[in-house]
Structure formats: structure tokens, C-alpha cells
Amino acid sequence: MQDILDSPIEYLKGVGPKRGELLRKELQIHTFRDLLFQFPFRYVDKTRFHKIRELEEDSGAVLLRGILRRLDLAGEGRKRRLSGQFRDDTGAIELVWFSGVHWLQKQLVVGQEYVVYGKIQSFRDGWSISHPEMEVVSEENTQAAASFAPVYPSTEKLNAQGLDSKARRRLMKALLEKITPDDLPENLPEPLVQAFRFPKRWEAFQGIHFPKSEEELEWVRNRLKFEELFYLQLRLLRMKYKRKEEIRGYVFEKVGDSFNEFYTQHLPFQLTEAQKRVIKEIRRDLGSGIQMNRLLQGDVGSGKTMVALLCMLLALDNGFQAAMMAPTEILAQQHYLSITSYLSAMNIRVAYLSGSIRGKARQAILDELASGAIQILIGTHALLEDNVVFQRLGLAITDEQHRFGVAQRAKLWQKSHAYPPHILVMTATPIPRTLAMTLYGDLDVSVIDELPPGRKEVITQHRNENHRLRIFGFMKEQIALGRQVYVVYPMIEESEKADLKNLMEGYEAIQREFPLPDYQISIVHGRMKPAEKDFEMQRFVQGIAQIMVATTVIEVGVNVPNASVMIVENTERFGLSQLHQLRGRVGRGADQSYCILMSGFKLSADGKARIRTLVETNNGFEIAEADLRLRGPGDLQGTQQSGLVQLYIADLAKDGKILQAAREMAERILGEDPQLQRPENDTLRHFLAQDKREWKGWSRIS
């Protein structure tokens, strides 16, 4: 018998073939189920109408009832706008629209009584509302007992076909009248529902679409958020447990000569306690006979590369090769130079492979790799090519892994024979705990949360164009002390020409202020050929150039301990995590370092918050949490590439406590009953066995 929720959307009363096709195209609503899971993105409190005379600065979004007295069209092209005067018996307010003007002109009627909803703003001596929602007065939208009216996402095409938010409310009512509690069976065990005092699942869906009060809305919303996050965690943890049961791994039994010689004779600095703890966690994995699948998080400069090197030496001691893959040539070369420098006194063959290495040199590397002569291979995506064959790959390390696709990473893992290699995934982009539990929920996680001793915190300051001459003076002071300076400009694809112009104008201004032969300036940007970029980079690395003017190509991978000043131009155009990565290019030596955030005079609230966060803290994890709050999970660096789960109702930026409770409950249940065979877990087993119809928005990402 077909599930009613799988019925095509056109079969719902009020839809039909034409509207059904539109819902499919515009909102991907194909079935009754898709409509049911399209939750309101906000609610209009229709329990109270405001009077215009009562409005105050902090009134926020308000509901008004009155008459549209006039409509005026002004401007041309993109600057065209529609404005109108709306009056009740206490006063008037200005309404204005900047888009959908053509359609609105046809729909709105001067002299008609409307219910208006929107956020008020100061306008001349009164108030205005931009893009208000307008509904002709009816018994439904003015009745005293009205509850919180749901507002659904819409588009201009939907509005034009009579499928605006109000029409969608009618469709939702028709759907909820059509389905029964049996069509939405309980999917949480009864003891869990009782423990958290959740409503029944059927009640939750009724309440999320048509809540009677704020309290009910909070109650049902928490139930649905928990349900979504709980099943997400349950699936991730089952993958993790299943992998540990089924995927065997090479056993690295011994700590041999390579590791011991390097650790006792060549270690360039004392390891931090955090590094030692992480190495112990990794050694435990490598000796377990189960494939390691571990995420290593560490802030900029925390010593992840050294941990990776020690792990690679463990692989060598047990007769295996190791590989490290990085997303860019700059970062891969940096790893290669660091590791060959660390191992210079030892007889270990390390090689570098990238797309720019061709011909006989490339073939020689491939031959040595296949024979086992190369013990450690470091490189870019070139490592993934079919003709790159290892004799015995035991450990694969991926740095800044969010820049690689899942299929790309899997290709590296398939280059081993008897078992897959052990996997270590590294990132210098701190990931908020809630995001890590979701993005990497099926990995074991290690965190280096301590910087090496002697590192001084970078002093961060916010400045604008009024301070330009003082900034130039400060740069000269630092250069006179023998230091070097980065000046970084944004480079964003959509406005590449404008950005390049900004970069070149800035470069010319710096050339005028810092003339030859007293000063040498390097310039690096994405439009340069690799050889040109490398030449300019090396001039800076070797200390020939005192100033590097660059775009964000230097965000990761450039290690110049002598550089003590990072100046970021147009700071408002960068995300928090990216700014933190840029700041991490300085503060790598013993000298006091500085990061100067240059911005325009007009900043958005988010822009001010980002800059304030950077100035107040150097802690990458605090910054990542702030970034998650400000921008939401979908915008965080790398998450789109990673296939971040698309959640229906939960919000990783706000629902950390619910996620933690869901994770703990999933761990407890699977810890006691990994196969979910106990009778009390029948509900969970049954729901997981379904075809994930209700959870199609997420995918495995690690």
C-alpha cells in the first residue's frame, strides 16, 4: 500500500498540474512529504494589531490594519521603486518596494483595506516598511483568536501563480487535514519521548506549522530539532562503529630506529603536552589492527606538521610508505621544504610530486615510488593520478582536506593493497564543536589546543584610511628593525577586475612610499603564472624583498618567521576564519608581531562584529564559534565543498545543546546495543531501515 506522503504534489487539493510543476521547479516540492517538511522560516504574531501612533524605535516587525491611500512609481531600470502611503485611524506610514515592482503595480489597489506586516524603520519624521507583506483584509486574517501565522519561502513566480505564503498556508492546512497520526508514526523510543517530555510526532508537525502560542512553538520545534539531529548522529556513529568492526588496518607494532633517532637527536624543539597527547592517540590507533580515520585539528602554528612527520616515521619503521597531500602547490611545497629540512641529517628518501613536474623527472619519481625507494611522497592532487603507484602505502595524510572532494580523497585511500592505508586528516581551520560533530561525526577527533612555548600573541588593531600615513611609518620602523611586511588584498571572482585594480593601485602607492633601491617589494596574485609567483615568493622568503603585496594566495603555506606585520586591506570583505588564517602568517618567530585590519568607514553590524572578534582574541576556536554564529554553517570556509548536511529545521549555530544531547543519547543507545537488536530499539531499527526519504538532505561527508 502506497504511503500517502509519497503522493505527487499535484494531487493535493488546490494544487493541480500547473501549480505542481511550479512547486517542483521553484522549491523542489515533488510530494506531500516534501511539502510537509518545508517548515515556516518565521511566524507572524497575529494575536495583536499595532496602531501606527503606538510605533516606537524598538517595535521591530509589526502587524497593521489600514487602507492603502496612494502608490507612486519612481526611478528607472535597477533604481526603479514603488512607494505607497498606508493609513489607519491614528496616522500614516510609508511602504516601499525595490523589486517585483511590475507585479505589485498590478496587484495592489489604492483605497483597498489591507493587513500589512513588516519591520519598521525611521523615515523622515515618521516610519517606513521596506517590502512589507500585504494581504487584503479577510475574516481569516483579522479574527481576534488568530494564532501565529506561518510564513513560507516563496518566489516571484510562485506569487504570480497565486502560491504566495498565504496560499501555501491553505495548502498546508489541506495536507494536515488529509493525513492521520498513522501516516506519521512515532520514530523515537517511548522512554526517550518521556524522558525529554516531547510531544508526539503527529502533534509536533501540527504545531510547527500552526502553533497556538510561543510556548507551543518552542516545545514542538525542540522535538523536531532533536529528532533530526539524533538520527543524523545515530547514522554517523553506526558508520564509525561499523568501520571499526569491518575495516581492518595494518598493524604498526613497533617504534623503531627512524622515530627514535629523530625524536632523540634531531627534534628541533620540545613538543607541547598537546602534541604528545595527540601522538599517543594516533599510536593507539595505528597499533589496533583497525584502520585509523582521525581528524587532527590545530590552530595556526600549533605544530600539526611535526605530529604528521612523527606519524610518517612510525609508518617507515613498520615497513610502509607514507603520503601527504595538500590542496595547493604553495602549501605542498611548504610541507616538502619543512620535512626535508627536519630530516636532512637522516637517510630517508622524501620526494615531491605536482602537476608541474613532467617528463623524465616525473617518471623517475614514479619508478622510485613503485620500487619503494621513495619512503615519503608529498604533493598536490597529482598524487591521485592512476600512474602514481606505491609499493606499500601505509599512511595517507590530507592537509586542509575540506578543499578536496570525497571522491578525490577516496582515490588516495585506494592506492594500498591488502588493507586501506591509515588516514589522518588535518586542518588549520578550527571547526566549532557542533560542526565537527556533524561534518566529522564518524571520525575520531584529536585537537592540538596549545601553542609552542615562547610564541607571543599577535597584536591586532583596526584602522581606516585616516591612519594610512601612520601605517606607512610603522612599516618603515619594522623594516628598519630587519622585519618583513605582508599587505593583503581581497580577490573575489565576481569582481576580479576591480580587485586587480585595487591590488595594483595599492602596489603603486606602496612603491611611491617605499622607493628603490632602499626597499624591495614582491607582488603575488592569482593571475600570475606559477613560475612568476614562485620567483616573487622566494624573493620574500629569502629576505630579498621586505614587503609582499598579495591576494589571499598566501593564506596558507607561506612560512616566513621574519615577517612581523600583516596588513589586511578591505577587511570587511573577508570572513572571520580567513582573517584568522591570514593573521597566522605572522607571529611565527620570536619577535612581537602585528596584524592591522584596514577597512572603510561604513561597516555593517556583522563587519563590526568580525573585526571586534579578531581584535579581542587570538584563539582560533573562539573565532570559529563566532564565525558560525555570524555566518551560519552553510557559509563557513570549506563546508560547501564538504557536502555539509542540509538540515530541515535544526541550526548548528544555535542548537549546540540539542545536538550534544542527541549525540550523547545516540552514543548511549549504540554503546548498549550496537546492532539495535533489543525490542526497545525496534522503532529505531525500523526507521533507519527505511530509504531515508525524510532525511534526504544529508549525506556522508567524511
Find the mean pLDDT for residues 178-206.
Answer: 93
Average pLDDT taken over every residue of the chain: 86
Question: Phi-psi category of 344—alpha, beta or left, where left has phi over 0 and alpha has psi -120 to 50?
Answer: alpha
β-strand 376-379 against 321-325: which pairing, if any? parallel
The answer to whether domain 257-286+303-427 and domain 459-617 are alike in fold is: yes
Asked if residue 292 has pLDDT above 70, the reply is yes
What distances in angstroms separate CA 164 from CA 156, 158, 223, one per listed residue? 9, 6, 28
Task: Give the tens place of pLDDT for each residue, 297-333.
Answer: 888 778 899 999 999 999 999 999 999 999 888 789 8
Give percent above pLDDT 70 in the chain.
Answer: 90
Question: What is the fold, at CATH topology level, of the domain defined by 48-146?
Answer: OB fold (Dihydrolipoamide Acetyltransferase, E2P) (2.40.50)
Q: Are 15 and 23 in contact (CB under 8 A)?
A: yes
Asked if residue 7 has pLDDT above 90, the reply is yes
Cis before 517? omega within 30: yes
Q: Residue 6: which residues within 8 A CB-CB, separation 6 or more?
A: 31, 32, 33, 693
Highest mean predicted confidence (pLDDT) among 194-208, 404-418, 432-446, 680-694: 194-208
All structural domains of the chain with their residue ranges? 48-146, 257-286+303-427, 459-617
Q: Which three cell numbers stand for residue 313?
A: 616515521
Q: Which three cell numbers stand for residue 235?
A: 547514522
Superfamily of domain 459-617: P-loop containing nucleotide triphosphate hydrolases (3.40.50.300)
Asked if residue 175 has pLDDT above 90, the reply is yes
* Domain 257-286+303-427 in CATH 3.40.50.980: no
Find the mean pLDDT for residues 485-492.
Answer: 83
Ordered DSSP codes for 253-266: ----HHHHHIIIII
Closest CA to 316 of 394, 422, 416, 424: 394
HSE-CB for 410 with a 13 A CA cutoff: 6
Give percent above pLDDT 90 in the chain.
Answer: 52
Find the mean pLDDT for residues 171-180.
Answer: 94
Task: Give the tens place of pLDDT for each residue, 640-667.
Answer: 333 445 678 888 778 888 988 999 999 9
CA distance 51 to 344: 79
By residue count, the chain amounts to 702
Please give the span between the terminal C-alpha atoms of the chain, in angstroms, as a whole number: 37
Task: Give the tens place of pLDDT for each residue, 379-431.
Answer: 998 999 999 999 999 999 998 755 555 566 567 777 888 889 999 989 877 77
Find the mean pLDDT for residues 670-698.
Answer: 77
State the pLDDT at residue 650. Answer: 87
β-strand 113-123 against 133-136: which pairing, if any? antiparallel
CA distance 88 to 54: 12
Ordered DSSP codes for 65-79: EEEEEEEEEE--GGG
Ordered DSSP codes for 517-562: TT--EEEE-TTS-HHHHHHHHHHHHTTS-SEEEE-GGGSSS---TT
Neighbours of 85 (CB within 10 A): 16
CA distance 127 to 476: 51
Asked if residue 493 has pLDDT above 90, the reply is no
